[in-house]
Structure formats: C-alpha cells, structure tokens
A and B are shown apart, each in its own frame.
Chain A
C-alpha cells in the first residue's frame, strides 16, 4: 500500500469525480462528503509520500510498471512532494468551505460543480507529480478545462472572463506543447529526466532548436501563470468566478505553474543552460520587478475586493519568477518556500473575501464596515492572511520575503529587493485600508463618544462553521509554516543544493 502512495494521490479525487458525476445529480447530498473524503485521502497520500521522500530520497513510480523513458513515470522528490501536499491541502480546505456556498451559488449544478472541482485537483496534482513532459501537458489541459468551466459557473461577467481565459489558456498550453515537440525532435524522449540526460550527453545545449523549445515552453508557462504582461486573463476570471472557484484557482493555478517553471529550469534544461549560457537572468528579473510593481499598483486602484486580490496574485507571481531567476540558491529556496506560503495566504484572503461576499452580498470594500464587531474570529483569520501578505513576522509571508530579499542581495539584484519592499508597503496600505473600515466603520463618528456600548458584544454573527473552520486552519498553517520555516527550508535546501546554483554575486 505504502509503495503505491504516489498513485494514491491521484486515484481518490479522480475516481470520486466520476462517482460524483454518476450519483450526484440523483443524491445531491452525497457530493460534499464524498469530495471532502476523497481529498482527505489525497492529503494523506501526499503526506505519506512526503515522509517517504524525506526518509528515503526520490521516489520513482512507474505507471502500470512501464519503465521510462517509454512509460510514464511519477518522480517525486522534495520539491514536488511539498507542492503536492500544499495543493491537496488547499483543495481540502476549499472543499470544506464550499459546503454552503456551492448550493447557494449554483443550486442546480452541485454535482457538476464537485465533479469539476475534483478533476481540477486531479489535474493540478498530476502536473505536480508527473515526470513526463507530455503527460504534464495533458494534466495541464485537464486542470485548464475544468477551471474554465468552474469560472464560467459564475454570474454574467464571469462567463466573458472565462471565455478570454479559454483563448489565452489555449495559447499558453499550445506553446508549451510546441516546445515539448522541439525537445522531442532533438532528444527523442519525453521523460523530463531523460531529456536532460540526452541533452547533456550529446551536448545539445547550443542547438537553436533547444533554444526555440526553451522560449516556447517559457512563454507558454508564463501565460498560464499570468506573468506580467501576459496576465490579462486573470483579474476578471478570479474576481467574478463563484467564490469557491476563486478560492481554489487563486491559490493553486498560478503556483502550480511556477512549480512547472522551476521543474523545467532545474530538471529539464538545467541550471547551467538556463542561468549561465542564456544570460537572461537580468532581463527576467527586471520583468519580474515590473510585474511586482504593476500588480501592486493596479491592486491599489481596485475597489472590488476580489479583483484587488487577483492583482496581488500577479504581483506575487513576480516575486516567484524573480526569485527563481535571481540565479541564486537562497533566491530559489525563497521562491519555492513562497509557492507554499503564498498558496496558503492567497487561500486565506480569498476565503475571507468569499465569507464577506456571502455575509453582505457586496463586492467592494464597504462590505468590511464594522465587521470587527460582527465577526471578530473571522477577522482574526483574515488578519493573519493580510499580515502574511504584507510580510509581518512571524507569519509565513515574512520569511518568504526574508529569503527572497536575501537572494536578491546575494546576487546583487537590488532593483528586485526594492520592488519587494515597495510591494510590501503597498500591501500594507491595501490591507490597513480594509482593517480601518472594519475597525472604524465607513464613516467614523466625528467626535468621540464616551458612552459607547461597553464590553459586551452587540450584533455578533460569525461566519458559519464550514466557512470559519477552513479560514482559521489556514491562518494557523500560515503561522506554523512561518514559525517552523526552518524545517521546511531544510527539505527545500536538500532538494536545491545538488543543482549547485551559484551563490553570491557574479
């Protein structure tokens, strides 16, 4: 059983997705428990796999026993084990949150919704654990097709956003597919590790075809991760989708694509080629600086809460792309750590946005009016997420910034450091604006009134348990992975250090 753990990551959500599709529309009530159960199973399998990786190193799992490079291989090391745990647990938390929201927002499509939801998680997990470049494309499309549909289940504007996403997403995935094609021409292999071996053995790095492949794949992945200026599809999609959809897509889709980028640069093309031979580092870091600033500043201009968060995602993508391309070991560690941290903090704020929308029906910031009095516990959960996005210790966001800035200074990219700091400050403005509204109300009293209602709580109404619990768990996770970041970083370092990414200024 334990040996099969990599396959068991995918099997529960996949099979249950089919089951939900078959049974769900007759017995709508079973959809939610089945979804949660299957995702819990997936989380367990991920954690078991992670434990095995920590103990015994990389796990290679051949699907149906076909040996690579012909068969499809799941190859799980420290990096994707961690990301898989993140993906499955974010999925589980979002699923718990969805309990009341899905029937409320899509009353006649509950079973369809959960089917897509599970397939999305399957696709994302598949992307994370597969070791095969073409298999990755298939999983990418599974995740993409389901997310188009999940977004389109929203109100009017979501449909248009989903349409744009279909177009952009297809272009991105097609570019990726083309790149893989060129790699296949040169190497005759689709297994990522095998491709790297062949490239190295035959010294194919100088080949223009490999360069074309690299450009195609990188651009494709950038489109899918909404790297500025290829981000146009993202804000409206996430802002208008059903709240559960944005709670699952926001944290995961971009982060998994960053994982794919790291996997391709480190494993397929190799550090030597990507960072030294190509000499792209400087340009890409500058692009990420632009992405960070553009994302943050656009977020500042938004009045719609979820749209603001969507722009923050674009800024965060800049953090991670920059962190990877600093070509510095600490920067890479920071970027990988940020994948995990950012998944949870984005989940945290999107869950909160969902709760707020559920409670007030308003999309803009005025929904925060006086919420400190009405739902203090919910606000505490939100505060942790907001502090993490700002980067206040001891939340996870502080430590990811710590490593990223350290990487920036190490490699001498001060522009990146400054961009990170500016973005932190803008985040501070954004979130304290919300906190102020929640604390003071939209229009605070002119003078101060001594006869305020004293300590007893008036009109308190927390979010329902199914929404509150995942929010608080996420907040707790943010604090935990912040305080115990050293253990997490130890795993990441074990993964990154064999690649010998240069440390220090060049």
Chain B
C-alpha cells in the first residue's frame, strides 16, 4: 500500500497553539480567571486542530508540512501519521483535563508563581506535540531538547532544597543522555546516510550501516532518550516527583515519559525499520533490557511507601512494556505497544490525580497513612481503583486491551520468556496497587485514620479525576480511535 500524502499547515498550528498561548497567559497574569481561560481556549483549540486531522489519518493519508531548511539538507518538518496522531490525541486531550485539575490543585494549595507554571506548561505541550508530529529525526531532537528545558521550571516549581536536588537529577540525566548519546548518534546517521533523515514507514538506515554500527546506534538511541525511564537512566523520574502533582501527572505519566518512549518507537520503526531490526536480530537484546527494567522497577515499587514514588516506579515499568512490545517486532506487539501509550496514559493520570487530590485534601503523602481513606474520599478512591485496574490489565478498564495485544505479540513470536515477564509483572502490579485500595475501604474502624465524614478535594480536581477514570472504562468497551490508529501504523511498520 502506498500512503498518500497531503500538505497542510494544520500540524504546525496544532503545535504552535499552546506556544502562542504563553503571551496571553503572561499578559493576563494579574487576572487568574482570564489567565486560566486562555489556557483552556488554547487547549480546546489544540485538541480541535488535532481532532480535525483524525479522519484524514484514519483514511491512511499522512499530512505533512515543511517549515524551512535549517541546515543544508535538513529541514524543520512536520508530518502526521498514525503513531504521531495517537500520541498527539492523548497529549492534547489530557492537557485540557490537567488544566482543569491544576486549577483546583494550585488554587487549593495557594501555590506561588502560577503564571510561570501555566506558561511553561503550555510550552511543554507545544514541544510534546512537536515531537509527535516531527517529520524527521532532527526536528524530533529539537523538540525533545525543548521539552527537557521547558519542564525544568515545572519540576522545580517549589524552589526549595528538595526541588533543587530533584531538578538537578532531572536535568543531568536528560541532558547527559541527549547530548552524550542521541546527538552523536543523530549526526552519525546524518553523515552516513547523507539524507534528510525523514522518517519512513520501513526505515531508511538499511544499506548504509553494518551490523556492529547498527547495534551501537540502537543502544545509543535507546538509552539516549532517557525520558523513557529505561534502567539505568531512570532515577530522574522518582526524583522529579518533587514537582506539583499536576506536573507529575501530565508530564511524568503522560507527556515527558511518553515522549521518551515515543522517540524510541519512532527510531525503531522510522529510522531502523522493524524489518531491518529483525534481519539483524536486534530485537532480542532490547526486549531483555526492557524486561529487566519491568521486573526490577515493579519490585522497587512494592517497597515504596510514598504514593507518588510508587506511582513513579510503576510508570518506569509500564514504559518498558511499550518498548518491549515494539521490540518484539511483530504486528501484534507493535499494536499493543502503541495502544499502551494511550491506555497507560489515561490510567496513570487518574492515579496521579488521585494522589494529588489526597495530598491536597489531607496533606498525606505516605501509603501507610492512607488506611481508611476510602470513607473520607470515596470518589477519589473509586477512581484510583479503576486506574489501577487499567494498569494491571484487568477487564472493565482500557488497559486490558493493550496488555492483551502485547501478550498476543509474545505468543505470536513464541517468546515465552517475555510472556512470563509480562505476566509476572502484572501480578506485581496488582500486588502494589490493590492493597492500597483494599486498606482504604475495608479496614477495621479502629485502624482507620480518618473520620467517616465525606470530604473530597477541590471540585475541579475531583471532576478531572472522575473524567479520566470514566474514559478509562469507556476504552474497555470502545477502544477507538486508538486501536485503528495503532493497527494502521503497525501495518505500515511490518507486514502481517
């Protein structure tokens, strides 16, 4: 099949929508209601723009737009395809929900410098969409770096000692890997191929490099995009949990980490090409790296008492599912992997919202202090339950489908070791989530640390977390458009 292509400026506008929102946000800094209004307008505008491209993409058409040539032979270009669309949909829709949530959270806690917060939030979103729609490796890298820097002020929002340590870990990890690994790999690819490094459905590296070079490049890219939280470059993620919860939620469950795995998926599929990887048998090594991360991070998560840290380690494991799925180099694995971007996003953001809501309402951060909290904040904890169902991959939540395809992928290829890894990990997931929920609702009255009076968090926050929980359930019954997008993209990467 030959995908048709149309030229349109919409991807650029979708990327710029939030960047331009910075201006009104800064100008309206003295009127918080209007300032947040600007965020919402931009959010809906962005979501609308992304959505408007959806039918075209579902038809199998790609949309592209070239801005200008920045280095001889290299352009800043945008191109929308199935994978990019899927990711952009997730990110832009969740921005709106998160904005709603952050209003509740930030005002509820009377945080300082809210204008700065909203401004950099908008910039980060632009960078995220830029990554999603990047047409070539160079553009991808530019937006990747932009995201690292734009999120720094968000991570260190509190400007205290803890924030400084967290921010320092955050930047050292991300910059070391991106400058130290990705940049040379990028230039190496550019020198070797002499091409514009446009992503192609079946990769473009084949024929330019040998086996050893391919292996080195693959490892440089895989570890270089450290936003994906692959061990041993994962420790920025728990460190970055010092950020305000909306930031953790959107950026560390959705935007930043997903940008990391997205970049890796892009490089596997668009640069190397899954067929080429299969030819060189490079998938196995990646699956083992990912499997290691999955198991180890789940075990670490079990031992964490701080709720946000537990969620962070859970995220590290879940991200590696996505990498593992793609590295299986099968259509089903790829489909599952891409769907997991969306499913995990909605599930995990719900969990983060809940953690934040608990902190805002009660000031509690530790799991051991949350015994009996179900009676005090029932809506929140039900949402938490749904979110954890989705992460574990149990029916009635969208996460089931992505896990299903991932498992299907391992069976299809006969990789039973990986099957075992995925199943073990699911068990571990259940082991670190369900006790929280159980203790929250079913504890002896004398154990409970809360009075049985219902007192939820700020309404905006509750609305946001209910919404995402609801969407998670809806995805179980109707996993569109993500399934179609993922399947369409997978069929371009590798023949069924």
Contact = CB atoms under 8 A, between A and B. Distances in A.
B179 A424 contact: yes
Interface string A433-446: 00010011100111
A436 B175 CA distance: 15
A421 B179 contact: yes
Contacts of A428: 171, 175-176, 179
Contact of B30 (A444, A450, A455): A455
B102 to A, nearest CB: 15
A453 interface: yes
Contacts of A406: 187, 190-191
Residue among A387, A444, A449, A483 with the highest chain B CB neighbour number at 10 A: A444
A454 B179 contact: no
Contacts of A429: 172
Interface of B: 29-30, 69-72, 109-115, 141-142, 145-146, 149, 153, 156, 158-164, 167-168, 171-172, 175-176, 179-180, 183-184, 187-188, 190-191
Contacts of A485: 70-71
B70 A444 contact: no
A391 interface: yes
A453 B141 CA distance: 37
A444 B167 CA distance: 13
A448 B159 contact: yes
Contacts of B145: 392-393
A365 interface: no
Nearest to B141: A393
A447 B109 CA distance: 15
Given A394-B142, A421-B183, A428-B175, A447 B160 contact: yes
By size class, the interface of chain A is 35 or more
A455 B111 CA distance: 10
Contacts of A399: 71
A405 B184 contact: yes
28 contacts: A393-B142, A393-B146, A394-B70, A399-B71, A402-B187, A406-B190, A409-B187, A425-B176, A428-B171, A432-B168, A436-B168, A440-B163, A440-B164, A444-B160, A444-B164, A445-B159, A446-B161, A447-B162, A448-B162, A448-B163, A451-B110, A452-B113, A452-B159, A453-B112, A454-B113, A456-B30, A486-B69, A493-B72
Interface majority SS (helix, strand, loop, mixed), chain B: helix
A213 to B, nearest CB: 35
A108 to B, nearest CB: 44
A489 interface: yes
Given A394-B142, A455-B30, A455-B114, A421 B184 contact: yes
Contact of A452 (B112, B142, B180): B112
Contacts of B112: 450-455
A119 interface: no
A417 interface: yes
Given A391-B179, A393-B142, A454-B113, A417 B184 contact: yes
Given A405-B184, A485-B71, 8 more contacts: A393-B142, A394-B70, A425-B179, A425-B180, A444-B160, A444-B164, A452-B111, A455-B114
B103 to A, nearest CB: 15
